[in-house]
């Protein structure tokens, strides 16, 4: 038997006391660290654990035209708001909705059976009874394990019959409120839709906070786009119900937005979202030691968003709209526009890129209705025709095929086994072959000059009945399109609108497509791209991004347009890679198009009746309509004025006009320039 050693007890007790003392010293040291040395850190941490912040959006900034006329309207109103505690149950929400209905009114609520089922199951006893009555396979899986709470609830909701949801009209109003309350997340704030609140209702709801936990009065607003010729570019704003667009949620949340914030979803509203969005109201929710919501405190007051003013004067825009409508109606009356989708025009300031007008008249081919379609100037694409020939000549210079005002022979272009390709006047006048310069090629709109330039970019010189080698076809098309894109043709213009089209640029093409593209009969462009192209020529080869917004403005005391905060500056996209002397040749060619005296001059309509000197280029893209049975033209035009000091650049597109004897494009461009000169006299 082992003998017990009594001397070991004091040793063990001493060791135990030492350990206890060490633990106490550690705890005291930790408390010293927390309460003295690092007091601020832990006080902040404790405060953050007992409070949370929620934000709500403020009234949105407004959009004005260049003269200060509003294009949108905010309707501000007082609404019921609800901030949800993390401890609120469905039964709590049911009680709040019933009590709230005694203070507000709700008319004709539109409810689904699922919404009524959710209300029915908000009573815990009813929910428990409903779950217990479910078939076994609706409560347990195949292994006998109980289904998740979410699955159980869904099965319970689906088991509710219409007979169980036989609610009165007043009960349906409470259900309508309940479902809105239930849609608000924990520690979030949402606006509750009711009938418009009277001043008395606002006062009563505001004073009933004790019996309506989480309920308060807040400010909301409705956004209305006013009916103008610019309505289609204003865009839209999400609703309180939809909140942040699903595809942009993460990006917005990183910027401090809340899920239910209303944001711009298209065009100007989307492009200038962060400017138009008001400063958010920040509320701090304080929790007690049990985690229950104790109080709600306003930390930061919100304020209305900033305003934007456009470069477009609505009066001038409407004048251009009316002009287009008049021309189109005239062509409709003579049968020329029967198959046309409409007519479009863009006017830019070539020195700044400011958009002066972006006008469109859309023709419904089925009903015949004409409607404003300014958005179509950046979304619709068309075959441009000969207006692009300055870009083709530029490509010849850039790729060493042409030199200066080089002379080529204008003649019918005949390849082995193919029909002749003629300039329009060869067919009209039977002129045969004669020398022609780059300036004359623009003035007379020579297809032959462009084809010979395109062949040169393939490393070949035209010879009658030649066989064209296509081993350098893709390279040549790439070079041609590269120059076109320097002018903005087939490239993003840089305009301050989202989702603009960059044109239709087919990746599959053959030799015929390449050659016809040299005179504008293959790739498709938007009217805005064509306007940027001619503005670049007018601006001596400097391509500027078009911009619709002139500046950002503050709010005045009445909440309207205040002082300028930030002016929009011009953005240079690139410079055309040609010499000043070559650019001067293009200017001379465009001048001759409008002012030339030869019977072959193509654009005298620019000058006839013009109030200032206009330079420009016409374009006729051939097509067929009515199932290929009727010949039609895209009668297009680009122009700038005054010739010596360009202040406006214009592009006009009139597709599928079957009136082949009349070129309305340059006449429309001239009249737009005359209108601008009337509104803003040019020197």
Q: What is the pLDDT of residue 5?
A: 55
Catalytic residue among 374, 386, 615, 623: 386
User: What is the pTM assigned to this prediction?
Assistant: 0.83
Q: What is the pLDDT of residue 206?
A: 85
Q: What is the pLDDT of residue 585?
A: 98
Q: What is the β-pairing status of strands 630-641 and 549-555? A: unpaired
Neighbours of 397 (CB within 10 A): 23
Q: What is the pLDDT of residue 544?
A: 98
Q: What is the pLDDT of residue 46?
A: 45
Query: Does a structural domain hold residue 14?
Result: no
Strand partners, 466: 415
Tell how far CA 200 is from the center of its chain.
42
In the numeric block, which tokens belong to residue 79?
């609404």
301-to-6, 258, 279, 295 alpha-carbon distances in Å: 76, 16, 8, 17
Ranges of residues in the chain whose predicted pLDDT is under 70: 1-9, 12, 29-54, 287-296, 427-428, 430-431, 661-662
CB-based burial, 522-539: b 16+ in 10 Å, e otherwise? bbbbbbbbbbbbbbbbbb
Query: Does a structural domain hold residue 97?
Result: no
CATH code assigned at 338: 3.40.710.10
Query: Catalytic annotation on 6?
Result: no
Domain range for 394: 314-541+576-679
Q: What is the pLDDT of residue 45?
A: 47
Residues 375, 382: contact at Cβ < 8 Å? no
Structural domains counted in the chain: 1
> Residue 593, exposed/middle/buried by CB under 10 A (0-12, 13-18, 19+)?
buried
Query: Does a structural domain hold residue 61?
Result: no
Q: What is the pLDDT of residue 111?
A: 86
Scan for tokens 């650019």, then name that residue: 583
Q: What is the pLDDT of residue 28?
A: 74
Alpha helices (runs of H) in 445-578, residue ranges in sequence order: 447-457, 473-486, 511-517, 527-538
324-to-263, 417, 653 alpha-carbon distances in Å: 34, 44, 10
Query: Does a structural domain hold residue 266?
Result: no
Query: Does a structural domain hold residue 459?
Result: yes
Query: Does a structural domain hold residue 100?
Result: no
Q: How far apart are CA 615 and CA 642, in angstroms?
A: 8
Query: Does a structural domain hold residue 269?
Result: no
Strand, helix or coil for residue 94? helix
Query: Does a structural domain hold residue 241?
Result: no
Q: What is the pLDDT of residue 30?
A: 64
Strand partners, 216: 81
């Amino acid at each position: 038997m082992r003998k017990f050693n009594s001397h070991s007890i004091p040793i063990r007790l001493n060791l135990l006391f030492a350990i206890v003392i060490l633990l106490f010293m550690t705890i005291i040291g930790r408390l010293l660290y927390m309460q003295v040395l690092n007091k601020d850190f832990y006080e902040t941490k404790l405060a953050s654990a007992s409070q949370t912040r929620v934000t709500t959006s403020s009234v949105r900034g407004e959009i004005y035209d260049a003269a200060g006329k509003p294009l949108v309207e905010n309707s501000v109103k007082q609404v019921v708001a609800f901030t949800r505690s993390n401890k609120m149950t469905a039964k709590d929400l049911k009680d709040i909705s019933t009590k709230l209905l005694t203070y507000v009114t709700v008319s004709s609520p539109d409810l689904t059976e699922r919404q009524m089922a959710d209300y029915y199951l908000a009573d815990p006893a009813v929910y428990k009874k409903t779950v217990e009555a479910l078939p076994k396979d609706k409560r347990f899986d195949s292994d006998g394990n109980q289904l998740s709470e979410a699955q159980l609830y869904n099965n319970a909701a689906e088991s509710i019959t219409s007979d169980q949801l036989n609610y009165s009209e007043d009960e349906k109003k409470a259900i309508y409120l309940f479902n809105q309350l239930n849609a608000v997340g924990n520690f979030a704030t949402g606006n509750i839709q009711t009938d418009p609140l009277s001043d008395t209702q606002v006062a009563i709801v505001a004073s009933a906070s004790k019996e309506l936990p989480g309920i308060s009065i807040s400010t909301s607003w409705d956004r209305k786009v006013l009916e103008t010729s610019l309505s289609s570019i204003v865009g839209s704003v999400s609703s309180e119900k939809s909140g942040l667009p699903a595809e942009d949620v993460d990006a917005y949340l990183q910027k401090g937005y809340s899920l239910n914030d209303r944001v711009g979803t298209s065009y100007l509203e989307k492009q200038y979202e962060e400017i138009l969005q008001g400063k958010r109201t920040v509320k701090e929710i304080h929790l007690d030691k049990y985690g229950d919501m104790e109080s709600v405190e306003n930390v930061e007051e919100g304020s209305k968003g900033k305003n934007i003013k456009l470069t477009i004067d609505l009066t001038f825009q409407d004048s251009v709209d009316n002009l287009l409508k008049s021309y189109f109606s005239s062509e409709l009356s003579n049968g020329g526009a029967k198959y046309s989708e409409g007519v479009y025009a863009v006017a830019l300031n070539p020195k700044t890129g400011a958009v002066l007008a972006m006008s469109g008249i859309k023709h419904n081919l089925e009903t015949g209705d004409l409607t404003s379609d300014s958005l179509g100037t950046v979304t619709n694409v068309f075959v441009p025709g000969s207006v692009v020939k300055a870009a083709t000549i530029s490509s010849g210079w850039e790729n060493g095929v042409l030199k200066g005002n080089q002379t080529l022979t204008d003649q019918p272009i005949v390849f082995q086994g193919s029909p002749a390709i003629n300039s329009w006047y060869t067919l009209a006048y039977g002129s045969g072959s004669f020398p022609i310069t780059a300036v004359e090629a623009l003035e007379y709109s020579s297809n032959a000059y462009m084809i010979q330039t395109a062949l040169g970019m393939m490393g070949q010189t035209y010879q009658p009945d030649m066989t064209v080698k296509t081993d350098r076809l893709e390279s040549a098309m790439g070079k041609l399109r590269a120059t076109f894109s320097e002018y903005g043709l087939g490239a993003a213009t840089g305009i301050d609108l989202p989702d603009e089209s960059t044109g239709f640029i087919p990746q599959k093409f053959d030799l015929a497509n390449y050659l016809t593209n040299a005179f504008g009969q293959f790739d498709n462009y938007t009217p805005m791209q064509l306007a940027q192209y001619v503005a670049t020529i007018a601006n001596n080869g400097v391509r500027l991004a078009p911009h619709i917004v002139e500046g950002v403005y503050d709010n005045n005391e009445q909440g309207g347009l205040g002082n300028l905060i930030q002016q929009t500056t011009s953005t240079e996209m690139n410079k055309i890679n040609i010499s000043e002397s070559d650019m001067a040749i293009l200017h001379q060619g465009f001048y001759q198009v409008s002012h030339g005296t030869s019977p072959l001059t193509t654009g005298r309509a620019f000058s006839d009746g013009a109030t200032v000197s206009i330079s420009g280029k016409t374009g006729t893209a051939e097509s067929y309509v009515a199932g290929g049975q009727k010949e039609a033209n895209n009668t297009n035009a680009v122009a700038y004025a005054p010739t010596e000091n360009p202040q406006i650049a214009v592009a006009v597109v009139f597709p599928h006009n079957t009136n082949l004897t009349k070129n309305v494009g340059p006449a429309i461009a001239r009249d737009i320039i005359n209108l601008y000169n009337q509104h803003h006299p040019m020197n």
